[in-house]
Amino acid sequence: MSPGYIPFHPHPSKPAFRAPAGTVDAHCHVFGPEAKFPYAPERKYTPCDAPKEKLFALRDFLGVDKNVIVQASCHSKDNRAMVDALDAAGGRAKGVAFVGEEVGDDELKCMDRAGVRGVRFNFIKRLVDFTPREVLERIAARVEKLGWHVVVYFEMQDLPELEGFFTALPTTVVVDHMAVPDVRKGVDHAENQRFHRLLDRQKNFWVKVTCPERMTVAGAPYDDVAPFGRALVERFPDRVIWGTDWPHPNMKKEAPDDGVLVDFVPKIAPTAALQQALLIDNPMRLYWS
Ligand code: 0GY
């Protein structure tokens, strides 16, 4: 297990960009508190406690209206902290769960009532143990009946091996973190263009333009990542969503300033129409309709 963690930024800056009313932070997490919601024994890192109260305070500070709370690997299949946050959010949060095929139909229905709208399949080897594809296919078939989608987390160099599995999924598929490109290779690199072609062909695929802080080589304010986000937003304006990734689990060097992450938005969505789609219309369609 990863020995340490970087706690989230204690004093994020007030963003210069004013998020339009109704903005959704469509990728963030809650962790613990450990005393109430212990971390999973099989976790690969231990995060700092990042309870719902802190998330809601950050939401208000950044001028964001709603959250999509995504289950991260450190809580594994125990979705209680996430569901507890949905229950407390007064309709202002939806969720994405992590489940195994042993999950009961009653539990799925219960999570649906709480506001869960998707499951996450994580293909990052440093974060999770391997799950056979047939198991994931059976889970996808079950959640499809609830009208949920599948969020996939993988790194771009693994796309050739995963693409066939992804395109066979019966649900909407939401790709985490721009498919984690290697930004040193550039937007026009064959790997990134292959990902764009996949989105072109597969109208059921969406993408989160999130986590520049995980991909950057140059550091904040992430100008080396902006061209990747902007290319996606301009080419697929009605299938992109944005989020902070607070509390930034498993970051090894420094905690990003969430205000700077909000200020990344106009760099990737330069017009009011693109911002409206990215921050409000698209996430509302995917999570609240
Ligand atoms: C993220 C990124 C990470 C962690 C997780 O499930 C997770 O533990 O998602 C990561 O370490 O890249 O999406 O927040």
What is the pLDDT, as a whole number, of residue 245?
A: 98
60 classed as catalytic: no
Distance 75 CA to ligand 1 centre (A): 11
Residue 250 CA: nearest ligand 1 atom is: 11
Asked if the model's pLDDT at residue 189 lies above 70, the reply is: yes
Q: How confident is the model at residue 4 (pLDDT cuts 50, 70, 90)?
A: low
d(CA 87, CA 103): 20
Residues of the chain with pLDDT > 70: what percent?
98
Question: What is the position in ligand 1's atom list of the atom closest to the CA of 47?
Answer: 8
Closest ligand 1 atom to Cα of 176: 13
pLDDT in tens, 7-40: 899 999 999 999 999 999 999 999 999 999 999 9
With a Cβ cut-off of 6 Å, ligand 1 is lined by 72-74, 122, 127, 176, 214, 245, 249-250
Which is nearest to 33 in space by CA: 56, 46, 52, 57? 52
What is the pLDDT at residue 16? 98
Distance 211 CA to ligand 1 centre (A): 10
Q: Comparing 106-120, 215-229, 245-259, which segment has the lowest mean pLDDT?
A: 245-259
- Ligand 1 midpoint to CA 77 (Å): 14
SS3 content of the chain, % helix, strand, coil (to 5): 40, 15, 45
Contact 60, 42 (CB under 8 A): no
**Residues 168-189, mean pLDDT to the nearest whole number:** 98
Atom 12, ligand 1: residue with shortest CA distance:
250
Find, among 13, 6, 9, the residue nearest to 61 by Cα: 13
Average pLDDT over residues 124-131: 94
Angstrom distance (rounded) from CA 163 to CA 151:
14
Q: Give the model confidence (pLDDT) of 191-226 as tens digits.
A: 999 999 999 999 999 999 999 999 999 999 999 999
The whole-number average pLDDT for the span 214-239 is 98
Query: Which pLDDT does position 131 carry in this prediction?
Result: 96
Q: What is the dihedral of CA 285, 205, 113, 74, to 10 degrees?
A: -130
| Best residue among 48, 55, 127, 156 to mutate for probing ligand 1, ranked by most atoms within 8 Å of CB | 127
Catalytic residue among 25, 176, 245, 263: 245
CA 126 to ligand 1 center in whole angstroms:
10
Q: Which helix (H) or strand (E) element contains residue 274?
A: helix 272-276
pLDDT at 3 over 50: no
CA 125 to ligand 1 centroid distance, Å = 11
Query: Which alpha helices (H) appear in 63-201, and where do they start and end?
Result: 80-88, 105-114, 133-144, 159-167, 190-201
Mean pLDDT of 115-131: 96
Helix axes 80-88, 105-114, angle to 10 degrees: 30
Q: Is pTM, for the whole model, over 0.95?
A: yes
Pocket probe for ligand 1: among 43, 69, 214, the residue whose CB has the most ligand atoms within 8 Å is 214
**252 or 215: whose pLDDT is higher?**
215
* CB proximity list for 205: less than 8 A, separation 6 or greater: 166, 172, 173, 174, 175, 198, 199, 239
What is the rounded CA–CA span in Å between residue 111 and residue 73?
Answer: 18
Mean pLDDT within 237-249: 98
- Our CA angle for 238, 240, 242, nearest 5°, is 135
Q: Whose CA is nearest to atom 2 of ligand 1?
A: 249
Cα–Cα distance for residue pair 121/97, rounded to 1 Å: 9
Q: Which atom of ligand 1 is nearest to the CA of 43?
A: 8
Report the C-alpha gap between 175 and 252 in whole angstroms: 23
Question: Best of 8, 29, 77 to mutate for ligand 1, by most ligand atoms within 8 A of CB?
Answer: 29
List pLDDT tens digits, range 45-82.
999 999 999 999 999 999 999 999 999 999 999 999 99
Which of the four pLDDT bands, split at 50, 70 and 90, describes residue 1? low
Predicted confidence band of residue 6 (pLDDT cuts 50, 70, 90)? confident
Residue-wise pLDDT tens digits, 135-153: 999 999 999 999 999 999 9
